[in-house]
């Protein structure tokens, strides 16, 4: 189908105007006739004759009556007597021709006047619009012949009029169609999109229409493309995934939308948001393809700039976040360092202050013991030499219960010695805990450090008043000396054990803290075979060995949400004032950043908590 016809069929609903078929012969035979005559005999004679000849006939005895009848009927022919009383045939005819309803009905005059002596009557009648004359006396055969002729003419005229009306309507439809076609052409030309139509029934699916939008976008002229396939717009850039999609859609006669890299006539790239659709005829058969190009190069450029700006913003935000994180960490570290250093200084000071007097006590205990033994021997010698003491001495001996005194004195000295030794031990632990000078990596006995921490926390572990004791179960494995920052590691143990004690605070018996140590691989470093599976038993990894310290309590435990936040600075589950929310954050920092290790938490509500610390044993090497 030619393209313009197709546009037309799409734009204007088809108007199948029927060409009128008037069945000429039948209509002539059965035509309706109005007979007007003031003579009854004439009326009867002619109407009988015409009825017998197959016509429908109505009669009227005057011009007035005829006009009355015509108000309700529309005969095909009027036979009109000229000479009639009141209104003659000419006047009646004049009125008929003035009246829209009757002006086209042919009128035949019947008169005896129309003879050779009065030719002007005939002229007058014809001038009034009559089509013919029948002379009286009536010849019935003549009447029939003239009636048939004029009825025939009447029907031919009607048919012509109908055909004319049909043609006029068709012309109007075409005019509108053409108007719409021109509008469509102007609109397509004005579109900023490139619009292309191809004919898939021709070899190579060539373009048969391109609008000015195509010329504006690509820089090519219509003549450059008509009859060719559009793929030349891809230049050498033919490995675009979108082209496969386009190829598939065309092969299946389907529509699709893709974004293509295309090249203008001057070789510059433009991004073509291309929309392809099949055009089908009324039966649904594919006739053409229509492709609409939208140049989105500017849009793409803006999008890319936006993406770059977004990426830059993201980078900035990340840098800011990092700085903020570092600041937070530095702040917490500063606070804690300050706290720990003043605590350390205080502990060291106290240790030093206690150490001196304890040394006096401890140092004097041996001479005190010796002196006492001397005095005891002296008393015994006196008792042997003077078995009967004076009443005054006897009274004093009884008053001081000399026998018990001599027996208990050595016990007193012994317990003083034990007490002094314990104080000495505590002082040693305090010193070792504070170790402010130890800011360097040193090989450390981890077990000793844990024990020192436990010693310092004895007061919280012991049973006191109604508070039952907390049992500490140690399951120490074989650990070599571990290179670490000892005072910082002590800080971690202190935090973890303190937290375990807190978790057991309101727990019923048995209240247990289990501390286990072992040498092992970092739990995150797993040797895998080629299939990505961990062999069983695991092959020892070439990675450095780790000291693994697990501190578990059978306390209240934590839900997963809390577990995920416990290492966040300032996060605390303790009541206001009793926890800073820094302990675990600092512990995390010390283990992960300072010792390149790991710290993890495993916990469930009601099932206790386990904190696992893993630090490499050879950090310094
Ligand atoms: C109506 C029509 C318009 C098209 N317009 C373009 C176009 O603007 N740019 C383009 O790269 N490809 C266009 N194509 C697609 C190519 O003509 C071709 O179909 C495409 O490269 C995939 O087929 P191929 O693998 O045979 O090259 C158009 C296709 C049709 C049917």
Concatenated DSSP letters of 25-43 = HHHHHT-EEEEE-S-HHHH
Give the pair of three-digit tokens for residue 309.
């700006």
10 CA from centroid of ligand 1 (Å): 25
Q: Which of 96-110, 277-291, 423-437, 472-486 has the lowest mean pLDDT?
A: 423-437
Which residue has its alpha carbon closest to ligand 1 atom 6?
230
What is the tally of structural domains in the chain? 4
Q: Please give the number of the atom of ligand 1 that sits closest to the Cα of 198.
A: 1
Rounded CA separation 453/433 (Å): 7
Ligand 1 and 196: CB distance under 6 A: yes
> How far apart are the C-alpha atoms of 162 and 20, rounded to whole Å?
6
Lowest mean pLDDT among 208-222, 432-446, 504-518: 432-446
Q: How far apart are CA 438 and CA 484, in angstroms?
A: 10
Residue 52 and residue 148 in contact, taking contact as beta carbons nearer than 8 Å: no
- pLDDT class of 398 with cuts at 50, 70, 90: very high
Structure tokens of 92? 């009646």
User: Which pLDDT band holds residue 315 (cuts at 50, 70, 90)?
Assistant: very high
What CATH code is carried by the domain that includes residue 63? 3.40.50.2300
Tell me, using a 6 A CB cutoff, whether residue 270 lines ligand 1.
no
Q: Which of the two residues, 302 and 410, has the higher pLDDT score?
A: 302
State whether 127 and 260 are in the same domain: no
CA–CA distance, 423 with 358 (Å, rounded to integer): 7
pLDDT tens string 452-476: 899 888 888 998 888 899 999 999 9
Q: Mean pLDDT lowest for which of 221-230, 413-422, 458-467, 577-586? A: 577-586
- Residue 15 in any domain: the answer is no
590 pLDDT band, cuts 50/70/90, is confident
Question: Does the beta carbon of 247 sit less than 6 angstroms from any atom of ligand 1?
Answer: yes
Same domain as 493, residue 554: yes
Give me 70's structure tokens: 């015509």
Q: What is the CATH number of the domain that holds 238?
A: 3.30.450.20
pLDDT at 579: 56
Please spell the DSSP secondary structure of 344-396, one letter per residue.
HHHHHHHHHHHHHHHHHHHHHHHHHHHHHHHHHHHHHHHHHH-SS--HHHHHH
pLDDT at residue 115, rounded to an integer: 56
Distance 221 CA to ligand 1 centre (A): 17
Q: Which of 399, 431, 463 is the last residue of a domain?
A: 431
Q: Terminus-to-terminus CA distance in the chain, angstroms?
A: 88
Residue 109 Cβ inside 6 Å of ligand 1? The answer reads no
pLDDT digits (tens, 9 = 90+) for 325-339: 888 877 776 776 666
Burial class (CB in 10 A: 0-12, 13-18, 19+), 549: buried
Cis peptide leading into residue 14 (ω within 30°): no
Last residue of a domain, one of 295, 315, 333: 295
**Tokens read off for 225:** 């493309």
Calculate how far, in angstroms, residue 591's C-alpha sits from the geometric centre of ligand 1.
Answer: 63
Query: In this structure, which residue's CA is closest to atom 10 in ligand 1?
Result: 231
For residue 536, the model assigns a pLDDT of 44
With 90 as the cut, is the pLDDT of residue 272 above it? Answer: yes
pLDDT band at 113 (very low <50, low <70, confident <90, very high): low
Q: Where are the beta strands (DSSP E) in 44-178?
A: 56-60, 77-81, 107-111, 132-135
Are 33 and 144 part of one and the same domain? yes
417 with 548, same domain: the answer is: no
**Closest-lying ligand 1 atom to the alpha carbon of residue 289:** 1
Interhelix angle 3-11/140-190, rounded to 10 degrees, is 100
126 and 111 Cβ atoms separated by less than 8 Å: no
202 CA to centre of ligand 1 in angstroms: 15
pLDDT at 303: 93
Does residue 229's CB lie within 6 angstroms of at least one atom of ligand 1? yes
Ligand 1 within 6 A of 193 CB? no
Cβ of 233 below 6 Å from ligand 1:
yes
Mean pLDDT for the chain overall: 85
pLDDT given for residue 301 in this prediction: 94
Q: Which residue has the higher pLDDT, 158 or 548?
A: 548
Q: Using CA positions, which residue lies closest to atom 21 of ligand 1?
A: 231
Quick one: 425 and 450 in the same domain? no
CA of 233 to the centre of ligand 1 (A): 8
Question: Greater confidence, 504 or 430?
Answer: 504
Picking from 11-15, 129-133, 225-229, 617-621, which range would have the lowest pLDDT averaged per residue? 11-15
Domain span holding position 319: 306-431
Task: List the 609-616 sheet strands across, edge first.
Answer: 471-475, 512-520, 546-553, 609-616, 598-603
494-530 pLDDT tens trace: 989 999 998 998 888 899 999 999 998 765 444 334 4
What residues have CB less than 8 Å from 239, skipping those under 6 apart? none
Residue 564 binned pLDDT confidence (cut-offs 50, 70, 90): confident
Does the residue 181 lie in any domain?
A: no
Cβ atoms 79, 34 nearer than 8 A: yes
pLDDT tier at 576 (50, 70, 90 boundaries)? low
Give the CA-trace dihedral at 38, 39, 45, 46, to 10 degrees.
Answer: -30
Residues 39 and 61: their CA atoms lie apart, in Å, by 7
Q: Is the CB of 272 under 6 A from ligand 1?
A: yes
Q: Are residues 287 and 163 in the same domain?
A: no
Residue 435: what pLDDT? 56
Nearest to 146 by CA among 72, 53, 24, 73: 53
- Cβ of 234 less than 6 Å from ligand 1: yes
Ligand 1 geometric centre to CA of 207 (Å): 10
- Which has more confidence, 352 or 37? 37
pLDDT, position 421: 81
218 lines ligand 1 (CB under 6 A): no
Clarify whether residues 72 and 142 are in a common domain. yes
Q: Measured from the CB, is residue 291 less than 6 Å from ligand 1?
A: yes
17 lies in some domain = no
Which residue has a Cα nearest atom 16 of ligand 1? Answer: 231
Q: How far apart are CA 181 and CA 187, in angstroms?
A: 10
Written as six digits, the tokens of 363 are: 């140092």
B/e letters for 67-92, b = 16+ CB within 10 Å, e = fewer, are beebeeeebbbbbbbbbbeebbbbeb
Q: How confident is the model over 1-24, as pLDDT tens digits?
A: 333 443 333 333 444 444 444 444
Amino acid 459: pLDDT:
86
| Closest residue to atom 23 of ligand 1, CA basis | 247
pLDDT at 509: 85
Distance 195 CA to ligand 1 centre (A): 12
CA of 9 to the centre of ligand 1 (A): 27
Q: Which atom of ligand 1 is nearest to the CA of 205?
A: 31
| 499 Cβ closer than 6 Å to some ligand 1 atom | no
For 241, phi then psi, to 5°, come to -55, -30
Q: What number of CA atoms fall less than 13 Å from residue 58's CA on the CB side?
A: 18
Q: How remote is the CA of residue 416 from the centroid of ligand 1, in Å?
A: 104
Predicted confidence at residue 381, as pLDDT, reads 94
Query: Residue 200 CA: which ligand 1 atom is closest?
Result: 31
Q: Is 205 in the pocket of ligand 1 (CB under 6 A)?
A: yes
pLDDT over threshold 80, residue 132: yes
Q: Is 461 in the pocket of ligand 1 (CB under 6 A)?
A: no
433 has pLDDT over 80: no
pLDDT on residue 523: 55
- Reported as a single tens digit per residue, the pLDDT across 85-109 is 989 999 999 999 999 999 999 999 9
State the average pLDDT over residues 104-119: 77
213 lines ligand 1 (CB under 6 A): no
Answer whether residue 415 is part of any domain: yes
| Closest atom of ligand 1 to CA, residue 290 | 1
> Is 368 part of any domain?
yes
DSSP string, 44-75: HHHHHHHHHTT-EEEEESSHHHHHHHHHH---
The CATH number assigned to the domain holding 607 equals: 3.30.565.10
Q: How far is the CA of 297 from the centre of ligand 1 (A)?
A: 18
**Candidate ranges 142-156, 216-230, 338-352, 444-458; pick with highest mean pLDDT:** 216-230
Q: Is the pLDDT of residue 544 over 80?
A: no
Q: Report the pLDDT averaged over residues 290-300.
A: 96
| pLDDT interval class at 537 (50, 70, 90) | very low
Structure tokens at 567: 């290492």
**How much distance in Å is there from the Cα of 250 to the middle of ligand 1?**
9
- 204 touches 40 (CB < 8 A): no
pLDDT of residue 568: 78
* Residues with Cβ within 8 Å of residue 608, at least 6 apart in sequence: 503, 552, 553, 554, 555, 557
Does the CB atom of residue 293 touch ligand 1 within 6 A?
yes
Q: Which residues pair with 138 in a beta bridge?
A: none
Q: Which residues of 485-496 are buried (b: 16+ CB within 10 A; e: fewer)?
A: bbbbbbbbbbbb
Average pLDDT over residues 28-47: 90
* Residue after which a domain boundary falls, among 168, 202, 232: 168
Q: Kindly report, residue by residue over 58-68, the tens digit of the pLDDT.
A: 999 999 999 99
95: left (phi over 0), alpha (psi -120 to 50) or beta: alpha
- Please identify, by atom number, the ligand 1 atom nearest to the C-alpha of residue 229: 17
Ligand 1 pocket, residue 487 CB under 6 Å: no
DSSP state of 200: T
Cβ atoms of residues 250 and 229 within 8 Å: no
Whether the per-residue pLDDT at 407 is higher than 70: the answer is yes
Given the structure tokens 């039948």, which residue do they identify? Answer: 26
Q: Which of the residue ranges 5-9, 369-373, 481-485, 537-541 would you say has the lowest mean pLDDT?
A: 5-9
What gap in Å lies between CA 445 and CA 454, rounded to an integer? Answer: 15
In this structure, the answer to whether residues 111 and 199 fall within a common structural domain is no
Does residue 207 form part of some domain?
A: yes
Least confident of 335-344, 423-432, 512-521, 591-600: 335-344
Query: What confidence score (pLDDT) does residue 344 get?
Result: 66
Mean per-residue pLDDT, 147-162: 90
470/502 same-domain check: yes
* Same domain as 53, residue 138: yes
Say yes or no: CB of residue 243 within 6 Å of ligand 1. yes
Say yes or no: 96 and 140 in one domain.
yes
For residue 4, being part of any structural domain is answered with no
Please answer whether residues 234 and 243 qualify as being in contact, where contact means their C-beta atoms are separated by less than 8 angstroms: yes
Ligand 1 centre distance from Cα of residue 198 (Å): 10
Q: What is the mean pLDDT of residues 529-548?
A: 54
pLDDT at 116 over 90: no
For the cut 80, the answer to whether the pLDDT of residue 438 exceeds it is: no
Among 456, 429, 449, CA closest to 547: 449
* Within a domain: 481: yes
CA-to-CA distance for 118 and 467, rounded, in angstroms? 155
Residues 290 and 370 in one domain: no
pLDDT for 542 equals 43
């Amino acid at each position: 189908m030619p393209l313009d016809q197709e546009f037309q069929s799409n734009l204007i609903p088809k108007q199948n105007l029927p060409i009128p078929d008037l069945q000429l012969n039948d209509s002539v035979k059965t035509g309706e006739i109005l007979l007007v005559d003031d003579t009854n005999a004439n009326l009867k004679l002619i109407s009988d004759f015409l009825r017998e000849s197959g016509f429908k006939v109505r009669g009227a005895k005057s011009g007035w009556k005829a006009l009355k009848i015509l108000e309700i009927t529309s005969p095909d022919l009027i036979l009109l007597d000229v000479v009639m009383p009141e209104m003659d045939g000419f006047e009646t005819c004049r009125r008929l021709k003035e009246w829209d309803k009757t002006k086209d009905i042919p009128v035949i005059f019947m008169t005896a006047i129309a003879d050779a002596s009065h030719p002007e009557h005939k002229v007058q009648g014809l001038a009034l619009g009559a089509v013919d004359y029948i002379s009286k006396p009536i010849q019935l055969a003549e009447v029939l012949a003239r009636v048939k002729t004029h009825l025939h003419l009447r029907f031919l005229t009607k048919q012509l009029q109908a055909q004319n009306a049909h043609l006029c309507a068709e012309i109007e439809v075409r005019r509108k169609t053409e108007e719409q076609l021109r509008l469509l052409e102007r609109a397509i030309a004005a579109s900023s999109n490139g619009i292309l139509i191809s004919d898939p029934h021709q070899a190579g699916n060539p373009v048969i229409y391109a609008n000015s939008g195509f010329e504006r976008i690509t820089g090519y002229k219509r003549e450059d493309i008509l009859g060719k396939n559009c793929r030349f717009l891809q230049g050498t850039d033919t490995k675009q995934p979108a082209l496969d999609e386009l190829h598939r859609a065309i092969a299946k006669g389907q529509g699709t939308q893709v974004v293509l890299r295309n090249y203008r006539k001057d070789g510059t790239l433009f991004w073509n948001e291309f929309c392809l659709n099949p055009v089908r005829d009324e039966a649904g058969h594919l006739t053409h393809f229509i492709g609409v190009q939208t140049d989105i190069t500017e849009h793409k450029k803006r999008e890319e700039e936006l993406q770059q700006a977004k990426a830059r913003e993201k980078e900035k935000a990340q840098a800011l976040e990092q700085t903020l994180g570092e600041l937070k960490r530095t702040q917490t570290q500063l606070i804690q360092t300050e706290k720990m250093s003043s605590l350390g200084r205080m502990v060291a000071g106290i240790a030093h202050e206690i150490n001196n007097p304890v040394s006096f006590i401890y140092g004097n205990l041996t001479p005190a013991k010796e002196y006492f033994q001397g005095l005891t021997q002296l008393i015994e010698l006196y008792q042997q030499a003077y078995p009967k003491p004076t009443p005054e001495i006897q009274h004093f001996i009884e008053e001081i219960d000399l026998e018990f005194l001599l027996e208990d004195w050595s016990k007193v000295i012994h317990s003083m010695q034990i007490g002094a030794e314990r104080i000495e031990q505590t002082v040693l632990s305090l010193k070792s805990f504070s170790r402010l000078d130890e800011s360097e990596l040193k090989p450390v006995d981890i077990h000793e450090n844990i024990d020192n921490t436990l010693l310092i926390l004895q007061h919280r572990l012991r049973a006191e008043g109604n508070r039952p004791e907390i049992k500490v179960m140690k399951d120490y494995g074989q650990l070599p000396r571990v290179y670490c920052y000892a005072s910082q590691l002590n800080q971690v143990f202190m935090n973890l054990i303190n937290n375990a004690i807190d978790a057991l605070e309101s727990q019923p018996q048995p209240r247990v803290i289990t501390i286990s140590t072992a040498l092992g691989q970092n739990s995150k470093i797993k040797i895998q075979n080629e299939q990505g599976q961990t062999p069983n038993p695991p092959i020892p990894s070439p990675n450095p060995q780790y000291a693994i310290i697990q501190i578990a309590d059978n306390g209240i435990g934590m839900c997963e949400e809390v577990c995920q936040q416990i290492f966040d600075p300032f996060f605390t589950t303790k009541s206001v004032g009793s926890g800073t929310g820094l302990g675990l954050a600092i512990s995390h920092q010390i283990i992960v950043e300072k010792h390149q290790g790991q710290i993890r938490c495993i916990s469930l509500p009601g099932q206790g908590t386990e904190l696992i610390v893993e630090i490499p044993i050879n950090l310094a090497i």
